């Protein structure tokens, strides 16, 4: 709980005939992180040959590519299903497909059977793509025909003929007159322009002799001018438009037929393809793992990390899969090795590991701060928010997340747990501070909140004193942890200069403050002893840091005063909520519209304050952990433990729950 999980380096040797079985067993167990043995510090690494890439890997990858393409094609039939708020908050459980444990050869046989039955889905997908491309062009042509409808012209005349170029264009209305003047003045004696206004544009048909077309091309590149796109056809714009509408209906009907065909394929083979795709992906992961192994003539050797508590289980799994034809050896991590980090916390504390990970995982020889961070984070959050109604809302949100999407997503479940705990603590804090949507109870009902111990708005100095006392306690907790780590590593000099010095300075500073402000009678011998202690502590800091030690002294003071944000956030929460209540009271009246307006002001204002202060309390609580607390003892930088583990989202093995 105070240190990461103890890890061991495992060395496994097996006969090559049992390699697939052992790797599969390790994959299903998910307790070992496999490392590349030929790049490791193992004594036998130099004696091992590199494992060859299996040709089955390419076969597996090719089948994955084929099935993925077919699956993408079938998704064309599904479209985007409407998603309700209930689907998001309380998603329905997805039934997993039971599968037998089998070899890659058996899986590929099933792929070989299903491909001929489903491959034509790719042709249907391509046809849909062509239909949609044609739809896009027809939409453009339809717009062009609509624009040209006022002209009594055969569309077949548009374009280039033996003597003329006839070009339909649209020109922005403010620029049309200048465009027409420039066009007619371009030295083209045989140019004519016929136009009609249309929705802020001028639709024009330009007729120009073929020999003069190059003279007007620069004018057609003007940003205000767009050449209308059309398809060669015979008939008036209205007749062509009718044929376009008819073709669009035919294409839509054909797209529906194709979608129905894809849906039928999906209904019959969709689950099988998903199942095969996941099984192939699992086999691919296993074959990629082969590349991390080393080998001799008949022996395969692999190395990796395993938690010390799982060593017996790992040996049992390997020996069972290899039929006893192998060996498993364990050793302690060597100095300088990068050891993967796995948290070692009880179940009630695990949701809060994400907070530590947000900063950085601990190193292998470093205290895991999660046990300290979790309660302090919750306490700070509750003190800053300090409203019982807001806390109840947070509990409700956390419950929805935990019992909804959290049933399928561990990160969401952990977030829901944190919110429920934080919300519950905020309810208690709100009761003790008398916060119920600010001063809602006394202002609107004349009820004095019971059980109030302290209110930040009424007793800010007292609240600040509590915040600063909490700050001193947390900062010194960080110093104690740092002192323990230095003493454990026998780093006595660091302990004396980095922690003991502050244990000397702080009592001296307290004696000085009590004496200077006459908070208590301090005997002269105690004052002299405090002065000597303080001077010695400052000397140790300066000896360690040099002239920069001055900044460490002021920095320590800044860290302590940073806990005043507990008061600042508590004042902000209560103050804004009270302001919203005052505005509500001012807007309210006897008229029904005034009552509605007052309710709107109240709901919008309180919602805004709830969201703003909840985010603020969370962010500032994290900041106190990451800067003021972690800065005293914690470095982090550990690499997460990544076990070789099967992840089944679609399938489950027979016999698994």
Confidence of residue 655 (pLDDT cuts 50, 70, 90): low
Name every residue whose Cβ is closer than 8 Å to that of residue 114 and which is 6 or more positions away in sequence.
Answer: 269, 272, 273, 276
Task: Return d(Cα 151, Cα 164) in angstroms, integer.
Answer: 18
- Taking only the tens place, the pLDDT of each residue in 378-420 is 999 999 999 999 999 999 999 999 998 888 889 999 999 999 9
Question: How far, in Å, CA of 311 to CA of 306, rounded?
Answer: 7
- The long-range contacts involving 224-228, CB below 8 angstroms and separated by at least 24 positions, are 224/171, 224/172, 224/174, 224/175, 224/179, 225/169, 225/170, 225/171, 225/175, 225/179, 226/169, 226/170, 226/171, 227/167, 227/168, 227/169, 228/144, 228/147, 228/148, 228/168, 228/169, 228/170, 228/203
Half-sphere exposure (Cβ direction) of 197: Cα atoms closer than 13 Å: 7
Residue 45 pLDDT more than 80?
Answer: no
pLDDT tier at 3 (50, 70, 90 boundaries)? Answer: very high
Torsion angle of the four alpha carbons 95, 100, 102, 104, in this order, in degrees rounded to the nearest 10:
-30
Give per-residue pLDDT as tens, 518-574.
777 778 888 888 889 888 988 888 887 788 878 888 889 999 999 999 999 999 999
Looking at every residue in the chain, the average pLDDT score rounds to 90
Give the chain's count of helices (H) and strands (E): 21, 15
Q: What are phi and psi of 588, to 5 degrees?
A: -65, 150
Other CB atoms within a 10 A radius of the CB of residue 484 amount to 15
Of 43-57, 299-313, 456-470, 612-626, the range with the lowest mean pLDDT is 43-57
pLDDT at 623 over 60: yes
Dump pLDDT digits (tens) for 236-248: 999 999 999 999 9
Long-range contacts of 135-143 (CB under 8 A, 24+ apart): 135/248, 135/251, 137/229, 137/231, 138/244, 138/247, 138/248, 138/251, 140/229, 141/229, 141/230, 141/231, 141/240, 141/244, 142/241, 142/244, 142/245, 142/248
Least confident of 60-64, 251-255, 421-425, 543-547: 543-547
For residue 282, what is the enclosing H or E element? helix 237-290
Question: Is the sign of the CA dihedral 38, 40, 42, 43 positive or negative?
Answer: positive
Contact 534, 508 (CB under 8 A): yes
Query: Over pLDDT 90: what percentage of the chain?
Result: 64
At 195, which helix (H) or strand (E)?
Answer: strand 192-198
34: phi > 0 → left, psi -120 to 50 → alpha, else beta; which? beta
Which pLDDT score, from 0 to 100, does residue 189 have? 63
Strands, E assignment, 274-353: 294-295, 299-307, 326-331, 340-341
CB 657 within 8 Å of CB 648: no
pLDDT in tens, 109-165: 999 999 999 999 999 999 999 999 999 999 999 999 999 998 888 998 898 887 888
Which pLDDT belongs to residue 161?
83
The residue among 632 and 199 whose pLDDT is bigger is 632
Nearby residues of 382 by Cβ (< 8 Å), 6 or more positions away: 391, 422, 425, 426, 428, 429
Q: 208-217, 399-408, 596-605: which range is least confident on average?
A: 208-217
- Lowest average pLDDT, out of 65-69, 401-405, 422-426, 591-595, goes to 591-595
Query: Residue 36: its pLDDT value, please?
Result: 83
Pick the CATH number of 130-246 from 3.40.50.300, 3.30.70.2750, 1.10.645.10, 3.90.1150.170: 3.30.70.2750
Predicted confidence at residue 50, as pLDDT, reads 80
Q: In sequence order, what are the beta bridge partners of 639? A: 340
pLDDT of residue 91: 78
> What residues are paired with 171 via a beta bridge?
202, 225
Q: Name the phi and psi angles at 147, rounded to 5.
A: -70, -35
Q: What gap in Å lies between CA 78 and CA 73, rounded to an integer?
A: 10
**pLDDT confidence of residue 241:** 92
DSSP E strands, 539-611: none
Closest CA to 274 of 81, 54, 95: 95
Residue pair 368/4 in contact (Cβ under 8 Å)? The answer is: yes
**Residue 602, SS3 per DSSP:** helix
Contacts with 462 (C-beta within 8 Å, 6 or more apart), sequence order: 454
Measured distance CA(277)–CA(69) in Å, rounded = 11
State the Cα–Cα distance between residues 356 and 360, nearest whole angstrom: 6
> Do residues 370 and 356 make contact, with C-beta atoms less than 8 angstroms apart?
yes
Kindly state the average pLDDT of the residues 354-361: 95
Report phi then psi at 36, rounded to 5. -75, 110
pLDDT number for residue 89: 73
Average pLDDT over residues 35-45: 73
Q: By the 8 A CB rule, do 10 and 307 touch? A: no
Q: Are 563 and 624 in contact (CB under 8 A)?
A: yes
Domain chopping of the chain, boundaries: 7-93+264-341, 130-246, 350-632
Across the range 22-27, mean pLDDT stands at: 94
């Amino acid at each position: 709980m105070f240190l990461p999980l103890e890890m061991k380096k495992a060395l496994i040797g097996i006969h090559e005939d049992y390699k697939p079985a052992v790797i599969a067993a390790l994959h299903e167990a998910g307790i070992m992180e496999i490392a590349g043995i030929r790049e490791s510090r193992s004594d036998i690494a130099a004696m091992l040959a590199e494992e060859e890439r299996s040709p089955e890997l390419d076969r597996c990858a090719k089948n994955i590519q084929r099935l993925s393409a077919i699956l993408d094609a079938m998704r064309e039939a599904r479209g985007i299903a409407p998603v309700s708020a209930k689907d998001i908050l309380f998603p329905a459980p997805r039934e997993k497909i039971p599968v037998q444990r089998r070899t890659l050869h058996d899986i590929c046989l099933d792929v070989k059977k299903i491909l001929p039955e489903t491959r034509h889905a790719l042709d249907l997908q391509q046809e849909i793509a062509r239909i949609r491309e044609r739809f896009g062009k027809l939409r453009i042509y339809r717009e062009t025909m609509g624009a040209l409808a006022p002209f009594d012209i055969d569309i077949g005349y548009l374009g280039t003929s033996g003597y003329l170029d006839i070009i339909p264009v649209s020109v922005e209305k403010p620029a049309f007159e200048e465009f027409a003047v420039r066009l007619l003045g371009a030295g083209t004696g045989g140019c004519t322009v016929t136009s009609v206004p249309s929705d802020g544009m001028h639709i024009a048909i330009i007729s120009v002799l073929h020999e003069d077309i190059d003279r007007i091309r620069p004018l057609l590149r003007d940003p205000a001018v767009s050449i209308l796109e059309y398809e060669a056809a015979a008939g008036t714009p209205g007749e062509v438009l009718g044929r376009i509408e008819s073709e669009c209906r035919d294409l839509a009907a054909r797209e529906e037929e194709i979608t129905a065909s894809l849906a039928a394929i999906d209904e019959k083979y969709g689950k099988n393809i998903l199942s095969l795709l996941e099984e192939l992906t699992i086999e691919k992961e296993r074959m990629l793992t082969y590349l991390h192994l080393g080998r001799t003539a008949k022996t395969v050797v692999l190395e990796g990390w395993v938690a010390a508590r799982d060593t017996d289980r790992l040996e049992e799994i390997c020996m069972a899969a290899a039929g006893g034809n192998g060996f498993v050896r364990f050793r302690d991590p060597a100095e300088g090795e990068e050891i993967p980090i796995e948290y070692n916390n009880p179940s009630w504390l695990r949701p809060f590991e994400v907070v530590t990970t947000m900063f950085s995982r601990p190193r292998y020889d470093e205290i895991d701060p999660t046990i300290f961070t979790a309660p302090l984070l919750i306490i700070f959050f509750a003190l800053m928010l300090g409203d019982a109604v807001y806390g109840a809302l947070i509990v409700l949100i956390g419950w929805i997340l935990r019992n909804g999407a959290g049933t399928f997503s561990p990160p969401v479940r952990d977030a829901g747990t944190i919110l429920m705990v934080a919300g519950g603590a905020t309810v208690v804090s709100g009761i003790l501070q008398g916060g119920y949507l600010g001063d809602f109870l006394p202002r609107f009902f004349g009820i004095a909140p019971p059980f109030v111990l302290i209110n930040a708005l009424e007793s800010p100095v007292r609240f600040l004193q509590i915040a600063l006392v909490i700050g001193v306690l947390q900062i010194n907790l960080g110093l104690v942890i740092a002192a323990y780590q230095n003493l454990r590593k026998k780093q006595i000099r660091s302990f004396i200069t980095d922690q003991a010095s502050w244990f000397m300075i702080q009592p001296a500073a307290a004696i000085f403050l009590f004496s200077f402000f006459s908070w208590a009678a301090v005997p002269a011998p105690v004052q002299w002893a405090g002065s000597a202690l303080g001077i010695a502590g400052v000397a140790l800091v300066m000896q360690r840091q040099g002239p920069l030690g001055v900044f460490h002294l002021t920095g320590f003071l800044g860290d302590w005063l940073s806990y005043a944000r507990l008061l600042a956030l508590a004042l902000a929460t209560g103050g804004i909520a009270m302001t919203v209540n005052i505005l509500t009271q001012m807007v309210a009246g006897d008229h029904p519209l005034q009552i509605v307006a007052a309710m709107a002001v109240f709901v919008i204002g309180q919602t805004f304050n709830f969201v703003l202060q909840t985010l603020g309390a969370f962010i500032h609580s994290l900041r106190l952990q990451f800067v003021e607390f972690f800065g005293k003892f914690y470095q982090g930088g550990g690499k997460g433990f990544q076990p070789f583990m099967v992840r089944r989202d679609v399938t489950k093995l027979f016999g698994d729950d």
